[in-house]
């Protein structure tokens, strides 16, 4: 048994946050049907997939455990199919600009009339209301507007772009998943679905809760690279090692700082952890100290002493690390044309109903006929809809 078995999700989303959210839910057992635009019905796809695109699909981890149906939702016939799917669905996910789903006739107000139990989740740049409602944004824009980008980077330097991990994956995708699951639990009590409005900007600000608390308390605007956990403190920093690699120490607790100082033979440093006037002296010493051993030597030495330490890995090192492999964060799928394909494993570990990788990422419209047949469409009618450009 899988935790979300019996939950059906219609995923209309395209950009990273929606598909990442539905991937997590599908890994945990939900049936996810990707509603994709057929070739020619979207600016994203003008024609049939090339051989290279087909090969790329095998590695599209965000699409695993999902089915794909091609629907041109600007077609009345395709919308009727969508409404039939809504009748049998529990959740809808979409990531269009505010107003687009209403123009298409697939908005929450419309579909909740068809299925009052539907949980409808929307991800947008700035939310479904407010002055910025119609402004578009990607992760970088949202973390800039949310105040996170200004805080990331070295003191006196430019802000550093942290991949698209904050607003896309760590923020809005996770908030959407929590919102959907919360709405499903509420539905089990009330019998009614509801609308879940997720803003990338809101999610970024939510991640800054601790930082904001300090600002609200002291009315002091934090500066990039000057906070204890932002690169200013010698006890929470990155250091180069003898072999040209890097190590991180993240020692916030005074008793562990004391253990660390004793381990490196600098007991006089114990009293200096909170003394900012001594931080430059400590940083200079630790910079030279870590150059005396290789990265892995430092890790083996200090991790055994219960010191907060981590190796700065390149991605190839991550996916060959014995602990990562033990935790099954690298999985291998069998693919009919690509053979063995590696993917990132399932991060959510459940003891009784663990997630599972049940199917490979599908080609666009791979399950169109299967899904339509399940709705009662005959083969001639499916052929006719395809010729009309309603399905793909």
pLDDT per residue as tens digits for the range 56-85: 898 999 999 999 999 999 999 999 999 999
Backbone angles phi, psi at 288, to 5 degrees: -75, -40
pLDDT confidence of residue 46: 47
% of the chain at pLDDT higher than 70: 97
**Both structure tokens of 357:** 């990788």
Mean pLDDT along residues 111-125: 98
pLDDT confidence of residue 120: 98
| Res. 48 pLDDT band, cuts 50 70 90 | low
> Are 361 and 49 a contacting pair, CB within 8 Å?
no
pLDDT confidence of residue 53: 75
| Res. 54 pLDDT band, cuts 50 70 90 | confident
User: Rounded to an integer, what distance in angstroms lies between the CA atom of residue 154 and that of residue 44?
Assistant: 38
| Res. 49 pLDDT band, cuts 50 70 90 | low
Q: What is the CATH number of the domain that holds 160?
A: 3.40.50.10540
| Res. 39 pLDDT band, cuts 50 70 90 | confident
Question: Pseudo-torsion of CA 184, 185, 188, 192, nearest 10°?
Answer: -50
Whether residue 17 is found in the same domain as residue 148: yes
pLDDT digits (tens, 9 = 90+) for 317-371: 999 999 999 999 999 998 988 999 999 999 999 999 999 999 999 999 999 999 9
Mean pLDDT along residues 133-150: 98
Residue 3 lies in a domain: no
User: β-strands 195-199, 119-124: how paired?
Assistant: parallel
H-helix segments, the chain:
17-27, 51-57, 76-87, 100-104, 108-114, 139-145, 174-190, 200-207, 209-218, 254-263, 279-290, 295-303, 315-318, 322-326, 368-374, 379-388
Residue 217 lies in a domain: no
pLDDT confidence of residue 73: 97
Residue 326 lies in a domain: no
pLDDT confidence of residue 43: 55
Whether residue 261 is found in the same domain as residue 156: no
User: Rounded to an integer, what distance in angstroms lies between the CA atom of residue 35 and that of residue 72?
Assistant: 9
> Are 212 and 56 a contacting pair, CB within 8 Å?
no
The structure tokens 């803003």 sit at: 199
Mean pLDDT along residues 129-150: 98
- Out of 318, 344, 364, a domain closes at 318
Q: How far is residue 253 from each of residues 64, 211, 234, measured CA to CA in Å? A: 41, 19, 13
pLDDT digits (tens, 9 = 90+) for 240-255: 999 999 999 999 999 9
pLDDT digits (tens, 9 = 90+) for 281-325: 999 999 999 999 999 999 999 999 999 999 999 999 999 999 999
| Res. 146 pLDDT band, cuts 50 70 90 | very high
Q: Please, what is the average pLDDT of the chain? A: 95
Structural domain boundaries, residue 194 = 8-207+335-388
Whether residue 202 is found in the same domain as residue 246: no
Contacts of 256 by beta carbon, 8 Å cutoff, 6+ apart: 306, 307, 308
Contacts of 358 by beta carbon, 8 Å cutoff, 6+ apart: 65
Is the model's pLDDT at 45 over the cut of 80?
Answer: no
User: Rounded to an integer, what distance in angstroms lies between the CA atom of residue 82 and that of residue 70?
Assistant: 11
Residue 138 lies in a domain: yes
Whether residue 187 is found in the same domain as residue 306: no
Is the model's pLDDT at 18 over the cut of 70?
Answer: yes
Residue 215 lies in a domain: no
| Res. 209 pLDDT band, cuts 50 70 90 | very high
**Both structure tokens of 228:** 């204890």
| Res. 200 pLDDT band, cuts 50 70 90 | very high
Closest CA to 121 of 32, 41, 57, 27: 32
Domain count, the chain: 2
């Amino acid at each position: 048994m899988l935790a979300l078995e019996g939950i059906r999700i219609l995923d209309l989303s395209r950009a990273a946050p929606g598909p990442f959210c539905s991937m997590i839910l599908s890994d945990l057992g939900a049936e996810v049907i990707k509603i994709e635009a057929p070739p020619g019905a979207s600016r994203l796809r003008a024609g049939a997939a090339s051989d290279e695109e087909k090969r790329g699909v095998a590695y599209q981890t965000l699409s695993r455990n999902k089915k794909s149906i091609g629907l041109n939702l600007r077609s009345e016939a395709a919308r009727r199919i969508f409404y039939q799917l809504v009748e049998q669905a529990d959740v809808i996910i979409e990531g269009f600009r505010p107003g687009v789903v209403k123009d298409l006739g697939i908005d929450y107000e419309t579909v909740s009339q068809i299925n009052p139990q539907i949980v409808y989740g929307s991800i947008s740049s700035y939310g479904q209301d407010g002055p910025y409602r119609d402004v578009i944004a990607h992760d970088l824009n949202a973390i800039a507007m949310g105040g996170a980008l200004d805080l990331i980077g070295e003191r006196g330097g430019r802000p550093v772009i942290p991949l698209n991990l904050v607003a896309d994956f760590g923020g809005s995708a996770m908030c959407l998943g929590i919102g959907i699951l919360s709405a499903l639990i509420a539905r089990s009590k009330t019998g009614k679905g509801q609308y879940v409005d997720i803003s990338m900007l809101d999610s970024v600000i939510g991640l800054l809760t601790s930082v904001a608390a300090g600002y609200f308390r002291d009315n002091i605007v934090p500066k990039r690279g000057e906070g204890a956990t932002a690169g200013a403190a010698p006890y929470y920093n990155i250091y180069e090692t003898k072999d040209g690699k890097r190590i991180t120490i993240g020692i916030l607790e005074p008793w562990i700082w004391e253990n660390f100082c004793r381990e490196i033979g600098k007991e006089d440093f114990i009293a200096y952890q909170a003394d900012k006037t001594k931080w430059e002296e400590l940083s200079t010493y630790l910079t030279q100290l870590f150059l005396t051993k290789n990265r892995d030597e430092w890790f083996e030495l200090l991790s055994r002493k219960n010191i907060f330490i981590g190796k700065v890995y390149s991605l190839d090192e991550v996916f060959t690390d014995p602990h990562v492999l033990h935790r099954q964060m690298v999985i291998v799928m069998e693919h009919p044309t690509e053979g063995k394909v590696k993917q990132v494993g399932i991060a959510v570990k459940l003891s009784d109903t663990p997630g599972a990788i049940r199917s490979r990422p599908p080609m666009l419209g791979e399950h169109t006929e299967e899904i339509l047949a399940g709705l009662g469409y005959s083969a001639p009618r499916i052929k006719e809809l395809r010729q009309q450009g309603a399905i793909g």
